[in-house]
Amino acid sequence: MSEARPSGAPSLTSVQWLICVIAAIGFAFDIYELLMLPLIARFAIEELTGLKPGTPQFQDWAAWLFFAPAFAGGLVGLVGGYLTDRMGRRFVLTWSILLYAFSAFAAGYSTSIWMLLIFRTLTFVGVCIEFVAAVAWLAELFPDPVQREKVLGYTQAFSSIGGILVALVATLALEYAKDLPAVMIPGFLTGLLGQVDPAHQHQAWRYTLMSGLIPAIPLILIRPFLPESPVWAQKRAAGTLRRPSFAELFSPQLRRTTIVTTIMFACSYGAAFGAIQQLQLIVPGLKDVKVLTAGKPVPKQKEIEGKTTTDYTKAQEVGGLAGRFALAWLAVLIVSRRKLLRVFQIPGLILMPLIFLAFARGDNYTFFSFDMSWSKVFHEVKLSYLGILIFLAGFFTVAQFSFWGNYLPRVYPVHLRGTGESFAANVGGRIIGTSFAYIAVKLAVTDIPGFAPTKMAYVATGIAFFTYLVGSIACFWLPEPKEGEFGDD
C-alpha cells in the first residue's frame, strides 16, 4: 500500500452540510433515473408496441431504449460540460436536475414507444450534465484534499442508495398499481399526445417512471441557499477565467489523460450496461424462476419475473453501495490512484465472467431466508448463491464510478474541468460504454447456444471479461495526479 494521506481535515460548516445533502440527492437520483429502464423496459415495450420478448423487433426496441438516450445524452452532455465551465457549476447543476426530474415524470404518460424514447432521452441528457457539474462543483467547494476526497467519495456513494430506492419503488409500484390514481393525459393535450389506453392506466412501470420527479422538490426549495464555486466565481470576476476548448484536451500536457480516462470510463460503463443491467432479460432463464412461473398465466409470470429482477437489483445495488463506501474509505489511505483502482479491477477481472457464467447455468441455492409476507416491499429476504454473486458484481463495478468522480477534477485545470470531465464521462461512459447494452442485446439474438435468457447471460460473460481486461491494461497508462497542479491555476 502506498503512503497514507494526512488526516485532520476541518469540520464541515452548516452551508457545506447543505451542499453535501443536495449533492447526495443529485447523485442518488442520477442512478435512480438510469436504473429505471432495466426494471421497466420489458413491460413498457410490450404494452406500447405489442411485441413479445425474444423477437428481433422487441430486441431492437430494447437496444434502442438503452443506447439512443445514452448516445444523445453523451453528445448533449459534452456541451453541458462546456457550459459548466462557461456559465458556472451551480447554474448548470440546478437546471440539469430539473430537466431529468420533469422528463422522467412525463415519460410515465407515454402513449407510444417514440414518446417514451424522447422523454427517456431528455432524462439521460439531464443526468449526463448533472454528474459533470456536481463533481466540478464539489471539488472546488472543498479545497482541503482530505475533506474533498471524503465529500466526493461519500456523496457519490448515495448513487447506490438511489439504485436501491428505485428497486424498492418498482416493487411498491407492482404491489399497489391498481390502487393508485389512473395515469391519463390532460384533456387539452389529448389532441397532440393521444390518451393512455384505459386498460393500461394502472401499469406499475408508469408509476416507477413518474417517481423520478422527487429530486426536483428539495432542489426548488434549497437552491437559493447554494453557493457558486468560489474558485470559478473569483476567476470570472477577475477576468482571468480562460475560455474552455475541446482542442486543449488533446494538448501535449493533457492528451494522455484524456485518452486513457475516456477508454477506462468506457470500460466501467461497458461492464455495467453490457452485463449487470441485462438482468431483466437473464432472470426468466433461471431454473428457480422457471419453476415458479410454470403453468401460471402470463400476467402472473411477468409479476414473478419482475419481482425477482428487482430483488437481484437490490442485491447488486447494496454491493455497489458497499463498494462505493469502501472506495471512499480507501481514497484517503492510498495515494496512488492506479493502486486504488486496481483494488477493484483485478478481483473484478477474475470474478465478473464467472458470475455471469453462473447466471448462464441458471442454478441457484438459497442458504437461508426470512418470510416477510407481511411486507409490501421485501416479501422475502434471503441469502442465495446468485444473490451473493450479483452483490460482488455490484461491489467491484459500481465502486469504479465513484473513482472517476474523485479522480477527474484533479487532472484538469479550473477553466477546463467541466469540459474534461464531460469528455471522459460522456464520450467514454455514455456513448461508448453504454453502447455495450446495444451490443449485448444484438448479440443475444444470434446463434449462441441456449434459450434467449441464457444467450444474454453468455453475452454478458464475454462483455464483462472484455471490458475488465481492457480497463486493467489501460490502467498502466493512467496519469497520477499531482496535488495542487491545477487547484490554483
Q: Report yes or no on 466 lying in a domain.
A: yes
Instruction: Convert the pLDDT of each residue in 180-214 to its tens digit.
Output: 888 888 877 777 777 888 888 889 889 999 988 88
**For the CA atoms of the chain, what is the radius of gyration?**
22
Backbone angles phi, psi at 10, to 5 degrees: -65, 155
Band (pLDDT 50/70/90 cuts) for residue 354 is: very high
Note whether 208 and 40 are within 8 A (CB): yes
Band (pLDDT 50/70/90 cuts) for residue 448 is: low
Note whether 327 and 346 are within 8 A (CB): no
At 414 the three-state DSSP class reads helix
Residue 389's closest CA among 443, 347, 439, 342?
A: 347
Q: Report yes or no on 354 lying in a domain.
A: yes
The predicted pLDDT at position 150 comes to 84
CATH code at 180?
Answer: 1.20.1250.20
> For residue 251, is pLDDT > 80?
yes
Indicate if the alpha-carbon torsion angle 250, 79, 212, 210 is positive or negative.
negative
Q: What's the CA gap between 414 and 402, in Å, rounded?
A: 20
Tally the domains of the chain.
1
Q: How many residues does the chain have?
A: 489
Mean pLDDT of the chain: 85
In the block, residue with C-alpha cell 434502442: 64
Note whether 194 and 66 are within 8 A (CB): no
Residue 160's closest CA among 67, 54, 254, 276?
A: 276
Q: Which of 119-128, 301-310, 348-357, 417-426 shows the highest mean pLDDT?
A: 348-357
The predicted pLDDT at position 52 comes to 82
Which helix (H) or strand (E) element contains residue 49? Answer: helix 36-49
Band (pLDDT 50/70/90 cuts) for residue 375 is: low
At 452 the three-state DSSP class reads helix
Instruction: Convert the pLDDT of each residue in 125-174 to its tens digit.
Output: 988 888 888 888 888 888 788 888 888 888 888 888 887 888 888 888 88
Q: Which domain holds residue 190?
A: 14-477
The predicted pLDDT at position 483 comes to 63
The predicted pLDDT at position 156 comes to 85
The predicted pLDDT at position 373 comes to 60
> Which of 48-62, 235-249, 311-325, 390-404 is predicted with the least confidence, judged by mean pLDDT?
48-62
Cell reading at 415: 477553466
> Which of 247-256, 298-307, 451-460 is predicted with the least confidence, judged by mean pLDDT?
298-307
Note whether 262 and 478 are within 8 A (CB): no
> For residue 56, is pLDDT > 50?
yes
Q: What's the CA gap between 251 and 411, in Å, rounded?
A: 13
The predicted pLDDT at position 4 comes to 46
> Which of 19-33, 202-216, 440-454 is predicted with the least confidence, judged by mean pLDDT?
440-454
Q: What's the CA gap between 134 and 487, in Å, rounded?
A: 17
Q: What's the CA gap between 301 and 294, in Å, rounded?
A: 8
The predicted pLDDT at position 12 comes to 77
478 to 182, 197, 213, 348, 408: CA distances (angstroms): 52, 53, 38, 18, 11
Note whether 166 and 309 are within 8 A (CB): no
In the block, residue with C-alpha cell 389532441: 191
The predicted pLDDT at position 3 comes to 46
Q: Which residues of 194-206 are buried (b: 16+ CB within 10 A; e: fewer)?
A: eebeeeeebbbbb
Local structure of residue 369 (DSSP, 8 states): E
Q: Report yes or no on 208 lying in a domain.
A: yes
> For residue 317, is pLDDT > 50?
yes
Note whether 25 and 218 are within 8 A (CB): yes
Q: Report yes or no on 487 lying in a domain.
A: no
Local structure of residue 318 (DSSP, 8 states): H
Q: Report yes or no on 167 lying in a domain.
A: yes
What is the arithmetic mean of pLDDT over 254-258?
95
The predicted pLDDT at position 486 comes to 52
Q: Report yes or no on 489 lying in a domain.
A: no
Instruction: Convert the pLDDT of each residue in 61-109 to its tens digit.
Output: 888 887 888 888 888 988 889 999 988 888 888 888 888 888 988 999 9
The predicted pLDDT at position 389 comes to 95
Q: Report yes or no on 4 lying in a domain.
A: no
The predicted pLDDT at position 488 comes to 46
> For residue 356, is pLDDT > 50?
yes
At 362 the three-state DSSP class reads coil
> For residue 383, is pLDDT > 60?
yes
Q: Report yes or no on 248 lying in a domain.
A: yes
The predicted pLDDT at position 9 comes to 59
The predicted pLDDT at position 464 comes to 96
Residue 110's closest CA among 169, 211, 195, 202?
A: 195
The predicted pLDDT at position 279 comes to 87
The full DSSP string for 303-324 is HHHHHHHHHHHHHHHHHHHHHH
The predicted pLDDT at position 220 comes to 72
Q: Exposed, middle or buried, 66 (CB in 10 Å: 0-12/13-18/19+)?
A: buried
The predicted pLDDT at position 121 comes to 93
The full DSSP string for 155-178 is HHHHHHHHHHHHHHHHHHHHHHGG
Instruction: Convert the pLDDT of each residue in 290-308 to its tens digit.
Output: 888 888 887 788 778 878 8
Q: What's the CA gap between 109 and 116, in Å, rounded?
A: 8
The predicted pLDDT at position 224 comes to 66
In the block, residue with C-alpha cell 442454478: 363
The predicted pLDDT at position 322 comes to 93
> For residue 449, is pLDDT > 60?
no
Cell reading at 485: 497542479
The predicted pLDDT at position 473 comes to 96
In the block, residue with C-alpha cell 421497466: 40
